[in-house]
Structures are given as structure tokens and as C-alpha cells.
Structure 1
Amino acid sequence: MALYDPSLVKDNCGFGLIAHMQGQPSHKLVRTAISALDRMTHRGGINSDGKTGDGCGLLLQKPDSYFRLIAEENEWNLGKQYAVGMMFLSKDPVKAQSAKDIINQELSQETLTIAGWRDVPTNEDVLGPIALSSLPNIVQVFISAPAGWREQDVERRLYIAKRRIEKRITEDEDFYICSLSTQVIVYKGLCMPADLPRFYLDLADLRMESSICLFHQRFSTNTQPRWPLAQPFRYLAHNGEINTIEGNRQWAKARAYKFASPLLLIFKRQLRLLTRPAQTLRAR
């Protein structure tokens, strides 16, 4: 009896996870994840230009030593607890500066300090014309937390700030927060998996080390490929499109009055305000 049945074949994304059992970070693990991602190229679509894909990326453990070296080179003062955010901003300098101002305001409200902004080194030559036409301004923001704060305290403050930022920046279609965390960082885009370390030069740097890496090749079925819709997202990567997303949003809206969390007690009155219906299909 044959185990293969063509009628059961379905198209979907490709993803995987690599982790070092003892938690030892290395560049070898990053290279291995990229190599595995490259072998999933067939799981995603390729545009007619031969270079623009449906989107691929990596979610890495925050490379602490690498980011601290960058901070030292730029003379930024990072505390014991700090976060790095990966963001897509508009190419329009006015819109980009407006977004930065809002980000600074909301982080300051949570007693978090921006140590510096970094233009992420990229090589646009590896992108196809379609990806290049919608390429955002890719930046990282380094954020320092007050002394004595625990990592989980910083994460909660970052989450609240992120949601308020997203509620305020609604007219800028290019703006997107790929990741904002003390623990992880996301590198993703509309390029081919083999070109990911050629586009993001950080990923080819031997100092870029991680002990865990989630990788994802997107297969776009019912949405057009866009930079924000490339995966992984901030906390996960999923295998297939979420076709019930509008229904999920309506159910969440109907139950908003029940929103509560023992971990967010001091923000209880803000929880309902932090949720909003999406005006367009965007990555969550």
C-alpha cells in the first residue's frame, strides 16, 4: 500500500526551529538555520523577477554581545536590562521622524530611554524590482531600562508602549514593528532565503551569535506579499493563512470588557484601549 496520496497534498509555509540544548550561542547555529531555510525555498512563491519571494526570515535570541559591541562603537549607554527593536519606517523622512517622535514619547511614558537609533546595514542589490519598490527604511532602536528592573517588567512595559505606538501611527502604511523585546530580534523581508544574509549584513557577521533560531518561508495564498507580512512574527510563525482573522477580531471585540491579566494589573484600565480593529490585513 502506497503511503503517498496526491489528493492529500496541500500547499503551505515551511518553518523550523534550531536550538542548542545547553543554550550556547554561536554563529554556526545562525548559519545552519539559514541553510535549512534555503532548503525550504520551494515552500514559497517566487515572483516573475526571480528575486522577490513571498517573504522569509529568522527570529533569533537577542545577540547580546553583538549588540553591546554596536552600542560601544556608537558610545551608547546601555543598562543591564535593555531591548532592541527592529522596525520598518517610511522612506519619507517626515513620516519617519514623526514615527520616531511617537516611539520616543510612548517609551518615555513607560520610563524607558532610547539609547540610540541604528540604520540596519543592508545590500539592496540582492532584491528584485518588486521587493525594492516597496522596501521600507529598516532601523533598530536600542532601549535602556532603569537599574533594578527585572526582564519580565521590561517586557510588559515594552508591550504596552508598542500597542500605544501602533494605535497612534495608523496613517503610515510602511510603519511596522517587527520585534521589540529584551529577548529576541527578527530579521525578515521579501527576499529569497539564500539572499537573507546577503541582504541583512548582520546575519553574515561572525559576531552574530544565537543559541536559538526560528526560521520561516512564507507561502502566500490569499494575501499579496508585503514586507510586514513576511514571517516570523514577534512571537511565532504559523503554517498557513489565518482565514478566520476577521471573525477572530470580532469575537475579541465582543469580549473586550473581560480583558484582564494578573501580570498587567497596573494597566488594567488601559487594556481595552490597547486593542483596536485593524483597518487592513496586517501582521500581528
Structure 2
Amino acid sequence: MNRAPTAGLYHPSFEKDNCGFGLIAHMDDQPSHHLVSTAIEALARMTHRGGISADGKSGDGCGILLKKPDAFFRAEAAKLGLSLAAQYAVGVAFVGLDAASAQQVKATLGAALTSQGLSMAGWRAVPVDPSVLGRISAAKRPDVLHVFVNAPDDLSAREFDTKLYIARRITEKALADDPVFYMPSMAAEVISYKGLMMPDDLAGFYLDLQDATLASSQCVFHQRFSTNTFPEWRLAQPFRY
């Protein structure tokens, strides 16, 4: 393995830091909010695996990737008057805080989904509490939106995810000059909650994670250790697949 040469006060033996991550799941695949809260608690115990800014509240980034909480999202969609198909996806979008940027994302993604034969049921503003963020994290904060996407009845799960991927890539290419736009996830079976906050503040920022009706059976959690790139909201993990 190639190592950086010893120079000055540097020595390769110092390179011992890395991210922290974990997975928790119910073997019977039964969803529960307890699993979600346990995963967040485990994430908080890995705070030492990432850096902390001078403001004490901005970190390298952390997050969780959940198996989609179906009952929770069907209830949220119903509150908004949205109709969800038997097979649907919830996409997560980071967009600029100004209304014009958000509208451009909505229009571009909507057209991309239509081009793939998918139906956009509607959008949801994700409830957040920015007061838990540090100064640096808050200065970079995007608005966070959920998009509900319905699949045709004759589409397989694999075909659905493929079309979602293509629609996302079309949108990313069209909005390549947008410095904020990013989709942490858009898939039929999983959803991401991540950002540039401390692990203790993940559920404080994303109010969904405090809701007892948000239940999942599988969760991957991750605390990033930023090495050769500066911390950014989009670079927080877990990454989409």
C-alpha cells in the first residue's frame, strides 16, 4: 500500500481516523419506532468518529438510511390530500431556500419523472428545526422536500427503481449549475435523513424522527469523518444506492 512519505512533523502512523457506521434491523422485518430511536442513539455514541467545528454544533455530517416507513408516509400523504399507489417512492431533495430555486427543481424533476412514465403525486415540506444547527451548518442549510412518486401497476420493483434512477440523473444533469440541489435518496424501498448536524441533533432537526408513528425494520447509520473534502450537506452519509 502506498503511503505519504515522512516529512516534517508528519508520520504515516498518525493516520488512524475514519468514519463510524452501523446497521440495526429486526430479523422478523417488523417495523418499530424503537428501532429508529435506538439507531439514532447508537449514532450519537459515535460522535467521536467525526470532527466538530469551533462552534461546537457543526460536524462533518451524519445521517440514517431507513427502510421506507410505509404507514407513516401514507398517513402524511393523506394529510396533504395526495393519493399513493400500491407501489410508490418517496424522494428527498435538498433545494435552495429561495422559492425560485425550489420551483425550478419541482418542474425539472416532474418532467423527468413523466418522461419515464412515472406519476408525481405531490410534494411535502419536511418539518425541520434549524435552531439546533451550528452557525457554519446553518449558513449552508438547504430546504428539504419530499416528493411522492407513483409507479404504474404493471411495473416491477426493479424497473421502478431503474426509472427513478434515470429521472434523478436527468434532473441532476439539467440542474448541474445549481449549487444546492441534491437528492439524498429517491428509491422505492429506502429513505435518507442526513445533514451537517451533530448526531445528537439529527432527530432535533428532522422532526419526523421524533414521531412515534415513524417505524422501520432496518436502519443504516453513519457519522462522517471528513478527510480530503470540506463538510457539506450533500456529503453527509449514508449515501444513496
Answering whether residue 66 of structure 2 is matched by residue 28 of structure 1, we say no
**1:83–1:182: 8 Å Cα contact kept in structure 2?**
yes
Alignment gaps of 5+ in structure 1: 1-6, 236-284
Answering whether residue 49 of structure 2 is matched by residue 43 of structure 1, we say yes
Match of 1:88 in 2: 94
Aligned-pair CA distance for 1:72: 1.1
Q: How does 1:139-158 map to 2 (within 5 A)?
A: 139-158=145-164
**1:15–1:214: 8 Å Cα contact kept in structure 2?**
yes
The alignment partner of 2:226 has SS state of: coil
Aligned pair partner of 2:211 in 202, 205, 211: 205
**1:23–1:211: 8 Å Cα contact kept in structure 2?**
yes
Aligned pair partner of 1:194 in 175, 200, 211: 200
The alignment partner of 1:79 has SS state of: coil
The amino acid that maps onto 1:85 is G
Q: How does 1:97-108 map to 2 (within 5 A)?
A: 97-108=103-114
The alignment partner of 1:227 has SS state of: coil
Residues of 2 paired with 1:9 and 1:53: CA distance?
20
Match of 1:160 in 2: 166
Residue by residue over 1:164-208, the C-alpha shift from the partner in whole angstroms, topping out at 9 and shown as x without a partner, is 111111110100010001100000011110110110000110011
Aligned residues: 230
Residues of 2 paired with 1:163 and 1:172: CA distance?
14
Aligned-pair CA distance for 1:9: 6.2
Considering Cα pairs closer than 8 Å and 6+ residues apart, tell me whether 1 or 2 has the greater RCO: 2
Match of 1:69 in 2: 75
Residues of 1 paired with 2:135 and 2:124: CA distance?
25
The amino acid that maps onto 2:197 is C
Match of 1:79 in 2: 85
The alignment partner of 1:115 has SS state of: strand
CA pair 130-9 structure 1, distance change in 2 beyond 3 A: closer
Match of 2:177 in 1: 171
**1:81–1:150: 8 Å Cα contact kept in structure 2?**
no
Aligned-pair CA distance for 1:122: 0.3
The amino acid that maps onto 1:57 is G
Residue by residue over 1:94-134, the C-alpha shift from the partner in whole angstroms, topping out at 9 and shown as x without a partner, is 12211111100000011111111111000111000111011
Residues of 1 paired with 2:165 and 2:79: CA distance?
28
The alignment partner of 2:186 has SS state of: strand
The alignment partner of 1:228 has SS state of: coil
Give 4+ residue runs of structure 1 displaced > 4 Å after superposition: none
Match of 1:60 in 2: 66
The alignment partner of 1:68 has SS state of: helix
**Identity of matched residues, %:** 54
